Amino acid sequence: MLPFDGTDTGEAMRFRGKSIRRKIVALLLVPLVALTSIWAFATVITGREADRLLDAATVMGELGEPVQETVRALQTERRHTLVHLADPRRSDSLTALHDGRQATDEAVAALRTRAGGEEIRGELDDDPRRRLDELLAALDRLEKVRARVTDNAAERQDAYDAYNALIDPCHAFLTGMRGVDDVRLEREGRALIGLSRAREYLSRQDALLAAAFTAGRMTEDQLRAVSDRVAERELTYRTHLSVLPAEDRERYQAFWSGADGRTLRAAEDEIIGAGAAGAVKAFDAERWRKTSGTALEELRRMDRETGERYHRRVEPEAASVLLRAAVVGILGFAAVLVSVAVSLRIGRGLVRDLGALRREAGEAAGVRLPGVMRRLAAGEQVDVETEAPRLEYGRDEIGQVGQALNTLQRAAVEAAVRQADMRRGVSEVFVNLARRSQVLLHRQLTLLDAMERRTEDPGELADLFRLDHLTTRMRRHAEGLVILSGATPSRQWRKPIPLMDVVRAAVSEVEDYERIEVRRLPPLAVDGAAIADLTHLVAELLENATVFSPPHTAVQVLGERVPSGFALEIHDRGLGMSPDALLEANLRLSETPDFRLSDTDRLGLFVVSRLGRRQNVRVSLQPSPYGGTTAVVLVPGALLTEIPQVSRNAVAAGEEADTAEHRADDRARTTAGLPLRGARPAIGAGGSGPAGPEPPAKGPGGTGADVGTLLRGHAAGHRGEPAPRPPSDRPSGESGGAGLVRELRPGTHRTPDGSREREQEDRGRGQSREWAGDADRARARMASFQHGVRRGRQQSVNSPGGTGVDAPEDGNGSDGGTGSDDTAPRPTHWRGTADDRSARHGGGRHRGDG
């Protein structure tokens, strides 16, 4: 067995041996490094947790107590301030206020001294440090509050709110300072802050009631504020007491169930029950001061003792965390040593087995599977047993891995083979369905031709032409399935066809053909082998342009020669495409990716891409100057030929006749909504064609010439052969010559001598002229005209000045065969020349030179 990397056996063995050793070393180093990293990480995490616990204890010892003292001093000063504002004339209230302010200044100064130390601030995290700064900034506003109180410029409610705003940052700092990772300790710490907040609610209630009793009156708002503080206090106690240890929780419960707690609650109920008017009379200030003061002092003492017990619980927890970190570190290091020893022992045995397994896997992944994929992509048959034979391995784990790899290899090959068979089957199904649809559509078109020749009613003829147009579009969609399946369309052309006819044929296969304007193209002919693909490609682009643009706008088709061939441009006036969508569409057009069944909304792009790659035609999309999208089709010069001068003159004469017809009445309509067909040249001479210009037989939806023209377009396009051109682009005017039967303007008719007259309308009586001919004369005239068309087509094919267009070759076999005689079947796709298709379906507005 050859080495996978292509070297000789000895060098490969040395290389493989070194490679496996490196892998064994990596096998040892990876878990060693990982385990060491985990050990170090665990040590750092546990050490950081312990350090944070110790820091929390230190910070609480340094800042917790000063902050609590500041809160207590601010609460006392707030009470004295509200009492002073309630009765400024009392000298004892002013003295108490000065004493309270002095105590507050001492507490704030102590707090600033502790908070200003760099050591303490360095132990704080970012969030607690920010909250400490906010607390100190709030305390800076204390002097402004005092000044307003001294000047009697503040109301009681304003002073009450100002002191509340000074106390709230203290509780916020204490809450953010709890950085313990232990969930239980963290919850207990937050519960302590909650108890301090509950005591603050009681202090606010005390300040409001003391001021009200001093003033001798209470408002409804003040009583409501007292009631709210009572409710908030009860809720806070009920929430946080459940978190505390049982010992601390029982102390608080004993207080509230004891004499002091019951007295406080009874007083609150009595005050709130008496209402704003009766509260002052039912209770006096001295009684309330004793009741609230006793409760506040007892709760403050309990909070301090609970906090001290919490700190004592934190310190042992930090020590236990450090112990756990040491144990984890030692055990992790021991695990690393054991892992190294075990890996070294079993590593040597793995080298041999892994080397063999590597060779097998390398050959399967680098040689067998890619080869199978390439052969399946090329359409070859692959034998699974030959490409993925069953191999025998040992019964150990490595042997099981080898067996699994062998099974995986066989499964991959089998799946690839099944996938290739499925794709081949799906493609064949698409092709068969499309071929059958094409056969049925061809038969339907043949039947429509026969019905069109038999009918004489303009309305029915218009409906038949509309059905004929729908059938032609259905045939294009069926051919799209053949192209997407990777097969080649069955229809072929041997001789070149003018480029203008190819574009007009593409226009005739579009639903909104009336909106398409085709400007005159250079006298170039398309090679017969590329006619079908180029027609389908242009039809897809025109369909896309009409669908994605407003129905009242036109789609312009123009082109010019370029050094590498011919550039055909299709402009629409839609909303355009975003740059990303435009880039994606151009990539699909240029790269020609494999068709996937999930991309059913992009069938047109795949069809255009496939056709462009097959004929070396480049298609690109770019923004249109009209705001929509422009499709540029670059036809290579190898597919184009110059039209001979004789054929060019014949084509030019026919196009001039077309221009005259469209200028006659470009927007006239039949009763069915189809455009009126301009009259075509009367083919033949002498008695073969119509005897001479005859008066038109007026029908319900148009002139008799219109009906004749539609029949003539049908006859000319029946066998997929070119419509003959008149020898001159001027009408003869002689009754027996090959004159040009032109489309008449509305409201005109021909006199028996061939001259035109404007019909004189009698507006007074509202009557118009009626054609006096009967149905037998019209049927005879149309039959004679059709016979002349057939004779003219046969003469045009045999004459040296023909266009050189022959009937398509249909390799499907379902169309009956090929040939240019009058009995040949209709081609699968190309139904007559583009001029005839334009006459049948009004294929847009074909612009001439002007």
Q: Does residue 410 surpass a pLDDT of 70?
A: yes
Q: What would the mean pLDDT of 628-641 be, rounded to a whole number?
A: 93
Beta strands across the sheet bearing 497-498: 497-498, 524-526, 640-642
Return the ∠ at Cα 387 (arms to 384 and 388), rounded to 5°.
75
Least confident among 119-128, 600-609, 757-766: 757-766
Instruction: In whole angstroms, give the CA distance from residue 550 to residue 572.
Output: 9
| pLDDT computed for residue 403 by the predictor | 80
Q: Does residue 827 surpass a pLDDT of 70?
A: no
| pLDDT computed for residue 546 by the predictor | 92
Percent of the chain having pLDDT more than 70? 69
- Tokens 């039209």 correspond to 643
Q: What would the mean pLDDT of 452-456 be, rounded to a whole number?
A: 86
Phi-psi region of 6 (alpha: psi -120 to 50; beta: other; left: phi over 0): left
| pLDDT computed for residue 355 by the predictor | 75
Instruction: In whole angstroms, give the CA distance from residue 33 to residue 39.
Output: 10
Q: Quick count: other Cβ atoms within 10 Å of Cβ 833?
A: 27
| pLDDT computed for residue 596 by the predictor | 58
The strand pairing partners of 558, in sequence order, are 569
Token pair for 162: 């100002």
Q: How many residues does the chain have?
A: 850
DSSP characters for 161-192? HHHHHHHHHHHHHHHHT-----HHHHHHHHHH
Greater model confidence, 34 or 504:
504
Read off the pLDDT band of 28 (50, 70, 90).
Answer: confident
The strand pairing partners of 557, in sequence order, are 518, 570
Q: Quick count: other Cβ atoms within 10 Å of Cβ 694?
A: 20
Average pLDDT, the chain: 72
Q: What would the mean pLDDT of 99-125 be, rounded to a whole number?
A: 85
pLDDT digits 0-9 by tens, 674-714: 333 333 333 333 333 333 333 333 333 333 333 333 233 33
Read off the pLDDT band of 832 (50, 70, 90).
Answer: very low
Which of 415-419, 478-482, 513-517, 760-764 has the largest mean confidence?
513-517
Q: What's the pTM value of the predicted model, to 2 decimals?
A: 0.41
Read off the pLDDT band of 332 (50, 70, 90).
Answer: confident
pLDDT digits 0-9 by tens, 562-593: 999 999 999 999 888 999 999 988 988 887 65
Angle between helices 603-615 and 579-591 (to 10 degrees): 40
Read off the pLDDT band of 490 (50, 70, 90).
Answer: low
Q: Does residue 349 surpass a pLDDT of 50?
A: yes
| pLDDT computed for residue 643 by the predictor | 80
Q: Answer whether 630's CB lies under 8 Å from 569's CB.
A: yes
How far CA 14 is from CA of 20, 109, 354, 425, in Å, comes to: 10, 80, 14, 49
> Where are the domains positioned within the chain?
59-325, 381-488, 492-644
What is the three-class DSSP state of 569? strand
Q: What would the mean pLDDT of 153-157 be, rounded to a whole number?
A: 87
- Give residue 350's identity as a one-letter amino acid code: L
Return the CATH class of domain 492-644: alpha beta
Read off the pLDDT band of 630 (50, 70, 90).
Answer: very high
Greater model confidence, 660 or 38:
38
Q: Alpha helix locations (H) across 616-644?
A: none
pLDDT digits 0-9 by tens, 166-206: 999 998 888 877 656 678 878 888 888 899 999 999 999 99
Greater model confidence, 164 or 416:
164
Read off the pLDDT band of 101 (50, 70, 90).
Answer: very high
Greater model confidence, 786 or 403:
403
Q: Does residue 61 surpass a pLDDT of 80?
A: no
| pLDDT computed for residue 352 by the predictor | 76
Read off the pLDDT band of 445 (50, 70, 90).
Answer: confident
Q: Quick count: other Cβ atoms within 10 Å of Cβ 675?
A: 24
| pLDDT computed for residue 792 by the predictor | 46
Phi and psi (nearest 5°) for 668? -65, 150
DSSP characters for 773-788? --HHHHHHHHHHHHHH
Q: Work out the burial of residue 573: count CB atoms within 10 Å of its CB; fewer than 13 is exposed, 13-18 middle, 19 or more buried.
A: buried
Q: Quick count: other Cβ atoms within 10 Å of Cβ 696?
A: 23
Greater model confidence, 685 or 144:
144
Which of 48-52, 357-361, 392-396, 846-850 has the largest mean confidence?
357-361
| pLDDT computed for residue 761 by the predictor | 37
| Closest of 780, 787, 712, 778 to residue 742, by C-alpha | 712
Greater model confidence, 330 or 295:
295
| pLDDT computed for residue 662 by the predictor | 43
Q: What would the mean pLDDT of 525-552 be, rounded to a whole number?
A: 91
Q: Does residue 720 surpass a pLDDT of 60?
A: no
Least confident among 52-61, 209-218, 317-326, 815-824: 815-824
Q: Does residue 114 surpass a pLDDT of 50?
A: yes
Q: What would the mean pLDDT of 264-282 be, rounded to a whole number?
A: 84
Q: Does residue 779 surpass a pLDDT of 60?
A: no
Q: Does residue 3 surpass a pLDDT of 50?
A: no
Greater model confidence, 724 or 540:
540
Q: Does residue 624 surpass a pLDDT of 70?
A: yes
Instruction: In whole angstroms, give the CA distance from residue 684 to residue 793.
Output: 9
